[in-house]
């Protein structure tokens, strides 16, 4: 490693992270997340934590996706449920239709006959609504039918898919890199 900066970990102050108040006032990316029928509070909390890191404008929690406040969500969100703008919405279909009418592009993460690899996809012009579905059965068919694009992460193993919080983190990271570069 180069010698000029002695190697040490950065303190929380040096990382320049925002306070909750500053975060709520700060500009967000044209990127929202819809978690539909995600069962695990751990996954919801972890996705809220990723949404905080990546300046997601809003997170919708639809169907039976658990919403804050809850100790298990808090434990994996580490408090990101306070900084991230989220909304519980029992039925996601009218929401998705309304967002599409106002120019949002709907991108679902799922293995289908029409899925495009995350490595090959051409991102549509933003704003983007990313949809993640249930841990076992994935994104429901009615939401797939409303999607402008369905994406899959290339995988080469024995399991059906990645954990939904990990897969969501990968696609969020990719989306944010596109938006910020």
Q: How far apart, in whole angstroms, are the C-alpha atoms of residue 34 and residue 53? A: 17
Binding mask 42-81 for a second copy (x = CB under 8 A): x---x--xx-xxxx--------------------x-xxx-
CB of 167 to a second copy, least distance (A): 8
Q: How far is Cα 179 from Cα 31, in angstroms, rounded to an integer? A: 9
Closer CB to a second copy, residue 22 or residue 90?
Answer: 22
**Which part of the chain contacts a second copy (CB under 8 A), choosing from 64-72, 85-93, 97-105, 145-153?**
145-153
90 vs 155 by CB, closer to a second copy: 155
Q: Which residues pair with 130 in a beta bridge?
A: 33, 107
CB 172 within 8 A of CB 49: no
**Among the listed residues 86, 21, 13, the one whose alpha carbon sits nearest the alpha carbon of residue 48:** 86
108 binds a second copy (CB under 8 A): no
Using the Cα atoms of residue 35, residue 49, residue 121 and residue 135 in order, give the sign of their dihedral: negative
Positive or negative CA dihedral for 94, 147, 88, 104?
A: negative
Residues contributing to the site for a second copy (CB under 8 A):
1-2, 5-10, 12, 15, 17-20, 23, 42, 46, 49-50, 52-55, 76, 78-80, 83, 110-115, 119, 138, 141, 144-145, 147, 150, 153-163, 165-167, 169-170, 173, 176-177, 180-181
């Amino acid at each position: 490693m180069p010698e000029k900066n002695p190697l040490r970990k950065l303190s929380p102050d040096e990382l320049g992270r925002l306070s909750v108040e500053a975060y709520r006032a700060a500009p967000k990316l044209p990127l929202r997340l819809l978690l539909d029928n995600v069962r695990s509070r751990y996954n919801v909390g972890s996705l809220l934590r990723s949404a905080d890191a990546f300046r997601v404008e809003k997170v919708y929690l639809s169907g039976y996706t658990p919403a804050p406040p809850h100790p298990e969500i808090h434990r994996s969100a580490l408090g990101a449920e306070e900084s991230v703008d989220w909304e519980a919405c029992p039925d996601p279909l009218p929401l998705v239709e309304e967002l599409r009418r106002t120019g949002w592009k709907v991108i679902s993460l799922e293995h289908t006959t029409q899925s495009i690899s995350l490595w090959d996809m051409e991102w549509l012009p933003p704003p983007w609504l990313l949809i993640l579905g249930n841990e076992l059965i994935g994104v429901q068919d009615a939401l797939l039918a409303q999607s402008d694009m369905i994406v899959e992460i290339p995988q080469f193993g024995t399991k059906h898919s990645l954990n939904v919080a990990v897969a969501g983190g990968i696609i969020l990271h990719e989306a944010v890199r596109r938006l910020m570069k």
